[in-house]
Amino acid sequence: MESQALIAQPPREVFLNGVPASKGIASGTIYVFERSKITLHSHDQAVNDLNAEIERLHLALKRSEKELEKIALITEQKIGKAHSEIFTAQIMMLHDELFIRTIEQRIREERRSAEMIASEEITKYQQAMLAANEDLFRERVDDFQDLKERIIRNLRSGQIISRIPERSIVISTMLTPADVILFSRQQMLGCATESGGATSHAALICQSLGVPMVVGLHDIAEKVRTGEMILIDGYDGNVVLHPSPETLALYERKAKRKLTALSAGLTKSETKTACGRRIYIYSNIDFKEELPSLEKFGSEGVGLFRSETLFIAGGDTPSEEEQTDYYRQIAAELAPRPFTVRLFDVGGDKFLFASYKEANPNLGWRGVRILLDIPELLENQLRALLRANQHGNIQVMIPMVSSVEEVRAVKKVLSKVESDLRKQKLLAKQPFMLGAMIEVPSAVEMIEELAQELEFFSIGTNDLMQYTVAVDRNNEVVQSLYNRVHPALVRMIARIIKAARKYRRRVSMCGEMAANALVTPLLLGLGLREFSVASSNIPEIKHVISRTHLSDAKDLAAQCLKLATASEIEQTLRTFKAHYQL
């Protein structure tokens, strides 16, 4: 008996849940990637030879540039030029005259080391982004962290870690885009991190490489050891440490089911319901480097381009020429498919322009309010979009509309800009269609009047939900109240679609609800015919649509519109899914 007690027991399975960032399922052995910690010592403070210190800075910047050029080349070879521009943007910062001049000036005035000053200057950018409530801006912090670590490492003549064991699953506190590219050369099977986001650059590259990724796993780097077994589920954000044979078999079956839509050729075919009704599925994107994913997953165009991401690349308001060139490139690559641009949704929770901290930024100075208060911002963007619309496939949405007055004010500016461009002979072949984001309850209340002013709508369910039930979607304390199938939201969606039909206006949905396959039959039943989601969600949504009859979906919608609680609606949707084996 005593000898049996000494026999080593297999380690117990541990189930963790994070945020899915790149779809796919992978299992294998762990490699824990420990980032070199930046430690600035007291001897970094005083500098005697200022010229030598500035020369050391420039040598470090040049070495950093060479590293990034190499990584950009590898990226272009692997997944195309669009993604390599992530690193081109970092190289541009290494050449930014204001950035360099500020560091040099501070070294001379404060007589402190280049490490200290460079770290502090880049940290300023990071703090500004972390202060924003918008996930998109927070997720760019890792890009600046990579740049900071790279410069400081090269100031100290350190070595970059660029190789890992073949076919490993990488676990780390964070991964930068450069890490992902370099590790992919050793056929990294998957990765999981403590920080990061679903739209971070590292996640976008994982999506293009087909590498499953899960983020937001608290302290995972401390819970695992190199060489242990792990399973990564990039569909639902599940991670299993020491998976049993039964668990591995279960997830292998799940992986096969998820690939059904791809292998069935749905990504290459038109999206139709089981009864033959044509449905359109577009992509939500933030950067042009995401365009290759449209082809991969069968997208029919861009239903939401978050144009405020142009501020991230340059750290300042992009010029009319920069915008024109950027929009023109995307529109040309997509043509004749639609390219739907949301006008700059900045300010308040997005940290730009506000010189003070608002008590409640979600109810403050943001969206169309800023555009109308800063006319040159709105005019420059409208001019750029009108000039870029050479293929006639650009569509423009006004963000956070809460009144008819706001729409009329934007239309007045648009009319003036269009007239000026026509006189200057700079207007493209045709003007664009103008629509609005419906994400505020007052816009739903005025939907018929708005339908007479605009050509299309896009329902932003994330904000519409938080404003309807008075729940901050970024506040963990009240997250249990943020239910995406709240009956009030379902009824609002039905009302929007009904008004759009009455005035023959197109209506799409670009919020998270559109990407929830459980809700897809309900949305079809309510009359939605256009979906806009993250590209990687398209195969699953297409699969559900292809198996759904509109008559059944309409019956489902009629039933859900009578229900009084979110839990009742969710259970009804689950019963429908099980009955029709969706």
Cα–Cα dist 401/450, whole Å: 10
Cα–Cα dist 284/302, whole Å: 6
**Cα–Cα–Cα angle for 199, 203, 209, rounded to 5 degrees:** 135
Cα–Cα dist 490/447, whole Å: 15
Look at residues 452, 451, 492, 296 and name the one whose alpha carbon lies nearest to residue 511: 492
Concerning whether 218 is annotated as a catalytic residue, the answer is: no
Give the torsion through C-alpha atoms of 106, 107, 108, 109, to 10 deg: 40
Q: Encoding tokens for residue 177? A: 């885009």
Cα–Cα dist 85/146, whole Å: 15
Concerning whether 486 is annotated as a catalytic residue, the answer is: no
Look at residues 149, 140, 129 and name the one whose alpha carbon lies nearest to residue 68: 149
Q: Are strands 506-509 and 456-459 parallel, antiparallel or unpaired?
A: parallel
Q: Does the N-terminal peptide bond of residue 212 adopt cis geometry, omega within 30 degrees of 0? A: no
Classify residue 429 by its DSSP letter.
S
H-helix or E-strand spanning residue 458:
strand 456-459
**Cα–Cα–Cα angle for 236, 240, 245, rounded to 5 degrees:** 115
Classify residue 272 by its DSSP letter.
B
Of the residues 83, 201, 391, 543, only one is catalytic, namely 201
Specify the 3-state DSSP secondary structure of 232. Answer: strand
Specify the 3-state DSSP secondary structure of 33. Answer: coil
Cα–Cα dist 411/422, whole Å: 16
Classify residue 468 by its DSSP letter.
H
Of the residues 83, 391, 486, 510, only one is catalytic, namely 510
Cα–Cα dist 576/548, whole Å: 10
Q: Encoding tokens for residue 150? A: 């790279």
Question: How far from 35 is each of 29, 254, 574, CA to CA, in Å?
Answer: 19, 33, 43
DSSP 362-373: GGSS-THHHHHH
Q: Encoding tokens for residue 51? A: 């010229």
DSSP 329-360: HHHHHHTTS-EEEE----SGGG-SS-SS--SS
Cα–Cα dist 490/440, whole Å: 14
Residue 26 bridge partners (DSSP) = 232
Cα–Cα dist 241/227, whole Å: 11
Cα–Cα dist 567/213, whole Å: 30
Cα–Cα dist 329/340, whole Å: 14
144 class by beta-carbon count within 10 Å (0-12 exposed, 13-18 middle, 19+ buried): buried
Residues 291, 293, 299, 305, CA torsion sign? negative
Tell me which residues are annotated as active site.
Answer: 201, 510
